[in-house]
Amino acid sequence: MRIAVLAWGSLVWQPRNRHGEIRLAGTWHDDGPLLPVEFARISVDGRLTLILVPGYPHRSPVLWAGSAFSDVTAARANLAERETGAPIEEVHGVAAGGDVIGAPAGPVVATVSQWLGCRSLDAAIWTGLGPGGRWEGGFGVDAAVDYVSGLTGEERRRALEYVRRAPEQIDTPVRRALRHLC
């Protein structure tokens, strides 16, 4: 079974972290599906990170690479470990036949299924972490800019580094708004 790992953030430039390493069968390709990703999660260390935001109107072409695993459960476990030890339930996916893996949003499933239909791949998996519940007034471009603008020291450096290092093709409204801070 050929499984694609979809990515849009640190997984691309940092395949290994203190939690684990994503095991891939090749390099990253830049012709992934157009998905609603945005800098909308405040991580434990204060970085503003990219996540899928179902229903978000802006889309970016994400990256993909083949998993080193041919079993979906093993590929999901590997991605969950690398993604800060996230529960395996936070790794979503879809098989080429339309079978849903985890609990992804319907529009994302439809987009990825259509994308899979144009490739010699059997399934795709991705991280489905949410915003982390730290947006008191609701998420938006202004809220994200205000959040990063209010950071100082190492926390601000880490947040801006994440924005700078994100793949160039991930050109989102928040990223454009934060360019003046980078």
Alpha-carbon span 89 to 178, nearest angstrom: 31
Token digits of residue 70: 């041919």
Q: How many C-beta atoms surround the C-beta of residue 169 within 10 A?
A: 13
Mean pLDDT value of segment 53-65: 94
**pTM for this prediction:** 0.93
Question: According to the model, what pLDDT value does residue 15 have?
Answer: 85
- pLDDT at 168 exceeding the cut of 90: yes
pLDDT of residue 46: 85
- How far apart are the C-alpha atoms of 152 and 173, rounded to whole Å? 22
Per-residue model confidence (pLDDT) at position 151: 93
- Report the percent of the chain where pLDDT is more than 70: 96
